[in-house]
Amino acid sequence: MTTRPKRRAHGVGAGAAALAAAALAILSLPGGSAFAQSSAGSTPPPAWQNPNIGVVVDMVVDAHDAEGAGAWRTGGINMRAMELELSSNIDPHASLKANVFVSPEGAELHELYAMFPSLPGGLEAKAGQMLANFGRWSRFHPHATPFASEPRLLHEYAGGGLLMTGAELNWLLPLPYFVQGSFGLYNTITGHSHDPDPAAEGAADPLSPAGIAAEEGCVSHGDHYDCADGIYYDEDLLALRGLDGLDPKTRFTNRRADELAFGGRVNSTVEFGLDWSMDFGVSGLYQPGYKRSQRLDGIRYSKALAGLDATVFWHPLTRNKYRGLDFGVELLANREGYETVVSPTVTREEYLTRGGAFGHVRYRHDETWHVGAFGEAFQARTGDAFLKRRGGIFATCNITHYQYLRLEYSRYDHADNVRPINRVALQYDAVIGYHTHGVQR
Amino acid sequence: MKQTKNPVWSGSKATARAAAVALVAVMTIGGAFAAKLNVVASIPDLGDMAREIGGERVRVDVLATGREDFHAVPARPSYLPRLNRADLLLNLGLDAEHAWLPALAAEARNAKIREGGPGWVETYPGIRVLDVPARLDRSEGEQHPRGNPHYNVGPDNGKPMARNIAEAFAKADPDGAGYYAARRDAYLARLEKLEDELRARGAPLRGLHIVSHHPDVSYLAAFYGMVVEGSIEPKPGVTPSAGSLQTLTNAARGRGVRLVLHNQAQNPRLPEKVAAEIGATRVEFLNMASAEGEARTWIGLQRENLRRLLAAFEAANKSGKP
């Protein structure tokens, strides 16, 4: 890698690593108190004051032919996530959840939020950094989806799952059936990914951030790249080649109120008899000042994301442990402003509205085997509205409830006049300790 | 001076009168509802006992239908509004419902019924818990870290369950303490008779060697004096391997196992195969009360399970199986 100024230390890496080490050290201390009683009414467990601890390992080995037909390449074992999760009640009113991702590049704070689960009037509040309550798949941890790869639809329009800092208020409406409304206020719209995209790395324009990142051996990680000597953003990579990004910039501090993002979601469920049900929801996110012009003061460009999702579940109650089916579709639309330089003194703002859909089906044949397929089609976020298409099949072997192996094949038609990329991925996941995704299904 | 009737005022008065009547009606209906204790039960067994003990002072809602594996009831969002209104959440405890109920209770926006809250009521205290693991480690399986939670199928466990429910009702509704105590005592007397009846009718099962799919028959076997020779699952919740099945069938043949039991939510294919290999009879029992038929009540569940065991035992005898 060429020498470059180290513009930033690794985000929260060093701090989070220290936090994780400190947390582990504290957790290893014996707890206990004479007055505490376990729920069994016997002696208190020795670590009763400790938080719940869980570790999830998510590894993927993949091979793809992004460099040409028959030229299969692999990145080796990708430790997508070693997720250390700590959670506990703070007091009778609130709980805290922290999620630290550890990878060969360092540690990164993934989620850290306080939750107030029982506010009056059916309200629940969350504040901190969290996977935002938007759409269906954006809220899933990578190890919890039924497929190995992340939907490229989310990569295209949001940079991955919407991991955002802010506050959310969720309201369970006082109705006899389930309807939940959410409102969130966030620093900015930002996504997060743990699934490097061979299409972005292998076939990107060598003078684009993705192309430069591929040449430099950097790994895409949400809105930035993890490189050997730290985090690099698009403009950092472009600067390495003496280039100036034409896009206005999305990162800034000391925000104005109109540079914050806000959004919401309304979701519900309907049941058709005992075995069939459907979850559905509508989501929206809007940030008036998503980007600032780098050339003209006071010019801002907005971004809006809108989503619609529905998932049907067949859980035959008598056989729910070993038989099941779910299928669904998520529609996503993105409207975003861009700055076009007409002349050295004239710029033109342009708004592009693009959209697409992701669908999946999964069948659970028995306690061990799940099989399924997915497909997605969406327009390119920028430039020509090329329709990107991807489809795949997967089979999961649940060795036990706590570990699985998954084999996935996908084919991705990601750019005009470029042959589609075939990819085979083998995923291994295991969990130890305490780990829960609430009522997510 | 003749007063003219102001049509507007007259209309307003009529509206006000109607509103007052509606308000009184709402308050009356609301008051009637408010007077009742809202009880949600995780499984039908506890719902039935809650109705027996709570009578007219409680409104009972049951989450599981009785068809499911109660370790893995699908956690539907529709449960949340029901839990949101609950004063008490009755559950078996001992981590029986750990995979779904605590998460639902945590998201129901109801501090009363969250795990450890005043309305979270586990019904196992007073029961002699069987199969308590000597070592807590996931290598021992996934589901019974605090001992076997399937005590609801043990006919002699009904009394402590009923006492715990009555105690929780009296605590949540002190005005009804006497009412609950009287109904509890009447129910306990019925359970006493039931135990005697089942012991007498189930005498032929004493000493019978059995195998189960999941370790959920310990309390049932203990009551009838049956001998559990093992489980198809090598550890709770762990799918058997070919090797573990071979070990089980070899041991079962040597010990004269007559019945292979599995519950209503398990795939009968494997128990059928094991039963065929060892020359035993497969029998499906119910590990919780069901939504319909004889086993709608907890007492009915006990009778139905005995009926199925005796029928399978007789069938095994007639078929000449060892």
pLDDT in tens, A404-420: 999 999 999 988 888 89
Which pLDDT value is given to residue A24? 41
More confident residue, A278 or B115: A278
C-beta neighbour count of A251 within 10 angstroms: 13
Residues linked to residue A406 through DSSP beta bridges, in sequence order: A396, A427
Which pLDDT value is given to residue A158? 93
Which pLDDT value is given to residue A40? 42
Comparing CB atoms, the residue among B69, B103, B142 nearest residue A320 is: B69
A284, two tokens:
């929206």
Its CATH architecture, for the domain B34-198, is: 3-Layer(aba) Sandwich (3.40)
> Structure pTM?
0.82
List CB contacts (< 8 A) between A274 and chain B: 65, 67
Cβ distance of B116 and A39 shorter than 8 Å: yes
Residue B122: pLDDT over 50? yes
Which pLDDT value is given to residue A292? 82
Residue A147: pLDDT over 90? yes
Cβ distance of A122 and B109 shorter than 8 Å: yes
Average pLDDT of chain B to the nearest whole number: 88
Which pLDDT value is given to residue A242? 67
B106 touches chain A (CB under 8 A): yes
User: Helix, strand, coil: what percent of chain A each, to 5?
Assistant: 15, 50, 35
More confident residue, B4 or B61: B61
Are the C-beta atoms of residues A117 and A97 closer than 8 Å to each other?
no
Residue A313: pLDDT over 50? yes
More confident residue, A21 or B271: B271
Q: Model confidence over A369-401: pLDDT tens digits? A: 999 999 999 999 887 889 999 999 999 999 888
A439 touches chain B (CB under 8 A): yes
Residue B10: pLDDT over 90? no
Residues linked to residue A432 through DSSP beta bridges, in sequence order: A55
Residue B23: pLDDT over 80? no
Average pLDDT of chain A to the nearest whole number: 83
pLDDT band at A250 (very low <50, low <70, confident <90, very high): low
A43 touches chain B (CB under 8 A): no
Which pLDDT value is given to residue A252? 65
More confident residue, B146 or A312: A312
B111, two tokens:
């501090």
Which pLDDT value is given to residue B7? 42
How far is the CA of A388 from the CAs of A354, A385, B23, in angstroms?
11, 9, 59
Q: Model confidence over B47-106: pLDDT tens digits? A: 999 999 999 999 999 999 998 988 889 889 999 999 999 999 999 999 999 989 999 999
Comparing CB atoms, the residue among B74, B78, B267 nearest residue A315 is: B74
Residue A190: pLDDT over 60? yes
Same fold? B34-198, B204-319? yes
A222: left (phi over 0), alpha (psi -120 to 50) or beta: left
Q: Model confidence over B161-170: pLDDT tens digits? A: 999 999 999 9
B278 touches chain A (CB under 8 A): no
Q: What is the share, in percent, of chain A residues with pLDDT greater than 90?
A: 49
List CB contacts (< 8 A) between B75 and chain A: 439, 441
For domain B204-319, which CATH number applies: 2.60.370.10, 3.40.228.10, 3.40.50.1980, 3.40.190.10? Answer: 3.40.50.1980
Distance from the A222 Cα atom to the nearest Cα atom in chain B, whole angstroms: 29
The question of ipTM being above 0.95 is answered as no
A299, two tokens:
């010019």
A257 touches chain B (CB under 8 A): no
Cβ distance of A118 and B111 shorter than 8 Å: yes
Cβ distance of A400 and B109 shorter than 8 Å: no
How do the domains of chain B map onto residue ranges?
34-198, 204-319
Which pLDDT value is given to residue A342? 74
Q: Model confidence over A38-78: pLDDT tens digits? A: 344 445 566 677 899 999 999 999 999 987 777 888 878 88
Q: Model confidence over A88-108: pLDDT tens digits? A: 989 888 999 999 988 777 788
Integer Cα distance of A198 and A62 in angstroms: 10
Helices (H) and strands (E) in chain B, counts: 10, 8
Integer Cα distance of A118 and A90 in angstroms: 13
Portion 207-246 of A in contact with B at CB < 8 A: none
pLDDT band at B223 (very low <50, low <70, confident <90, very high): very high
Which pLDDT value is given to residue A248? 66
CB pairs under 8 A between A and B: 101
Q: Model confidence over A132-143: pLDDT tens digits? A: 999 999 999 888
B238 touches chain A (CB under 8 A): yes
Cβ neighbours of residue A14 closer than 8 Å, sequence gap 6 or more: A106
Best-predicted range by mean pLDDT among A27-36, A163-172, B6-15?
A: A163-172
